[in-house]
Amino acid sequence: MNCTVCEGHVVRALEGICATEVSASYRRGDARCAVPGGVAARTITAAVQAAGYRVLGVEDVAPGGGGNCCG
């Protein structure tokens, strides 16, 4: 991501897979979201890639720890 427009693209992509609490930061180079149980990391990766962005990894964080993270 290079700008706030990119952040919006990633947020909308993640919201499209039923993610909530979605945020993205081009400055940090990551996105954070909460997803319902059963949503696989590959689904998160595919959504972000379909929006035209590269995923470096998906981190599963315990509830209350900020949700999943795409960096």
Q: What is the pLDDT of residues 25-37, one digit of tens each?
A: 999 999 999 998 8
pLDDT of residue 71: 59
Output the domain CATH number for residue 27: 3.30.70
Coil, helix or strand at residue 23? strand
pLDDT of residue 19: 92
12-68 confidence digits (pLDDT tens) = 999 999 999 999 999 999 999 999 888 999 999 999 999 999 999 998 876 654 445
How many domains is the chain partitioned into structurally? 1
Q: Which helix (H) or strand (E) holds 15?
A: helix 4-15
Please give the structure tokens belonging to residue 40.
Answer: 């696989």
pLDDT of residue 6: 97
Q: Pairing relation of β-strands 20-25 and 58-59?
A: unpaired
Can you give the pTM of this predicted structure? 0.82
Structural domain range at position 40? 4-70
